[in-house]
Structure 1
Amino acid sequence: MSQRVPNILLEQLSDFINKEMGLFFSKERKLDLLRGVSLAAEEFGFSDTEMCINWLLSSPLKKRQIEVLARYLTIGETYFFREARIIQALEREILPAIVEKRRNTSRMIRIWSAGCCSGEEPYSIAILLSRIIPDIESWKIVVLGTDINVDFLDKAQRGIYREWSFRNTPFWLREKYFIKTDDGAYEILPQIKRLVSFSYLNLVQQESPEYLNLQGFDIILCRNVLMYFSQPQVLSVINRFYQSLNDKGWLIVGSSEASHVLFPQFRTVNFPGAIVFQKDLSMEVSRAENVLFDMEIDDLIPATTTNYDFSALLNADNSIEEEAEDEDEFTKAVNFYEQGKYKLAAELFKTLLNDPVFADNPQVYILLAKSYANTGDLKHALHWCNKGVKKYRLEFQLYQLQAEIYQEMGKLDKALDALKNVIYLEPDSFAAYFIMGNLSKQLGKTKEAKKCFENAEKLLRLKERDDVLKEFDGITAGRMIHVIESMKSMESPG
């Protein structure tokens, strides 16, 4: 098959795909677009790619065309219990509150996973519900997963997964909620599977009939999806989510998308290490339209990413708190921290500073400062972080934490200074360059921002595209490069 396609035609196709499907392909990814559409052309019955492109451009895409294109143009990247901080907020705060409210009334809960890929996210939610509601059989539970890729949906409906879907998950997950198959895969239990349904949906085609019944949800999850849409599409989809939620319903997006500026019609709620958005009809929303259309693409990305550790949640069954009598004080403090008992952790970490065994451990200062930060006490968090910086001037993690705290306090210039120290000590820190780029952009330092983004992209390109970035909650290097390319492509107005 011929793959010689004029650049101008490929650019037209890129714009068309973005409009019709919400998928953005930068100039740097034109070969990915060409490769995908060439494979789709064969399925459409064309022997020539250029002819197929002209055919696609001749009229708005039909559902069948979108389904075929999605098969070759979208990439699935997900796993069970993704983003431990969000899982903790759901398990300990959000879901128990909804259950308590509904227990003596409707006993109905509706949750939508938008852009569910191969189903790991909606099944994770169903597992959480089964752990929280002992008598779940007497409830009406609706967990809906939607996606534009029908192949992903077919896999989700089968409910059979391989080892890669369980990375960073607790050991008990497979043992309690899956059946091991003869070929070494894992099939979700029938009682969990029946709680979840799947359906095709193109999020950017809001006039489609599939949208008609998407109302009355208690929670909508749309994680690491919005970053691929154009700015108008992002705003339109967010508005649709707002309409689809019940009053006091929750919207949960990816950590790299969770900026309060993007969601003015929602109330921003901070849980330990996680930002979520709540619909509240009592809020004034008249200012929303004025805010929405003045934003820049940088508002999609938070200026900083805070790395809190909730490994206790993913390594213990039923959140059981076990404290060995013979464990040392440092281990006790860490356990308190991981269990979310930040005030107890802070007090114990402070006592350790007087213990010669731990007084020279920079992690004590780091965890002490994080403990205060997680309670919202930024003043004391900064105090102990600064003390740590003075004592351990070559410990880059302290400067990184210092930058995060300054950014939360709105002191962006000081946050930039701290990040410069991170880069001095860790020249390969793509995360520091990326965060500096966002902060510089907010401060109107356009040239500095551009240079930071370029450096971040260069460092990311040294990695494999499938490498998982722990700094950004499991997003792959390839996806992060795509985010930067999207930002760069939208820097200029119009």
Structure 2
Amino acid sequence: MYLRFWSAACSSGEEPYSLAMLLRYLLIDIDDWDIFLMATDINQNILNRAREGIYSRWSFRNDPIIPTDLYFSKILDNQVKLDDIIRNMVRFEKVNLVRDTSFSHGFGPSSLDLVLCRNVLMYFSQDKSHEVVTHLVNSLRIGGYLIVSPQEIGIIQGQDTRIVHEGSVFLHERVIPGAGAGRKDSSCSSPGKDVTSEFSLSSETIDAEDIEDFGYDDKSHEDIFKNWTKPEINLPGADIQEDENKEINQQIIEDRPNEAIQIINNSETDNFLQEIMEMEGAIRSYAGNGEYEKALGWSDRLIAIDVLNPRPYLLKAAVFDEQGLYEHSLQLLRQSLYASHDYLPAHLAIAGIYSKTGKPDLARHHYKLAIGILETKDEDIILEETEGIPAQKMKDMINQLLEG
């Protein structure tokens, strides 16, 4: 018995490794199976990092549906390493999805059972996305499945596939050429979750300039991170070292970021979230004073603390935006979306840039994505980075922009 998988545009490996863990957890007789799990990306540096299998706590911000402590070992206070038994299941290769359409995985055409290609096609032109999808579909056996993100379902049209509804997941099943595409609801049982997104480590960033080319409720996994505070994107304040924090805030308010940074550098606090908040304030203050190089430098330091957090990319993008460097800003915002594809502020910022640079169709695309995100929220919830505006009010404002 065999299974063949391809994780296209895999970034730093969270998706294929999640699939490998799921297979090992579900298949009791996995050693009797011939499993091929290929993961590709255009960025060699990210692939090298993926092979190492080292991740920070941000990768576990969503509760896994299987006990992940079975497959990780703690190596630092904020890092774990994936066991070799999982790492060795995945083969990483450098592949350009647009240019390498003749890429072969070694099993010949039309031989794969499942292809995952999520949150990538939306960044291609219509022609390029069609070419990539055709190649992905042709790599599947008849009856094999292609999974893309919900925002990309409409891109898959006319490539001898039909939509299969499995719980909350939509799959594109390859059918016999000429049999006709369509939609069917599967009678198969479903876990009720998008396994590849709810269980998985969350995807890390890739360079945006490359994009154009390129229910188990066990909590035992928390033992690995029992001394950690699980971070939220909307960072809360810390109540330690109150006098020092007040002094830092005062320096920022008075537009004296150099003094604030000096206090941060000399601080002995071990509060991770508090340090991030202080650095964010200093970055904004530097940018407000026109000291863009310093703002960018500290943005890079903030990104380095946790490359899987979408928020620092947003801050750095704002610095570029203020200088009118819109392409640089868009690159950072796309990286933010690769860290968290439903990060609302990034979609709004991208839409804003496209609006003021004369690209209304692209702006509308991201405004609609933002509305889709807001529709999953309670109407009265106050979202981060929206200046206290409730979800319903924000959705109404975006709809007005679309109507205008």
| Structure that is richer in helix per residue | 1
**Larger RCO (CA under 8 A, 6+ residues apart):** 2
**Which structure has the greater CA radius of gyration?**
1
TM range (shorter): 0.3 to 0.5
Structure-2-length-normalised TM-score: 0.47
Structure-1-length-normalised TM-score: 0.39
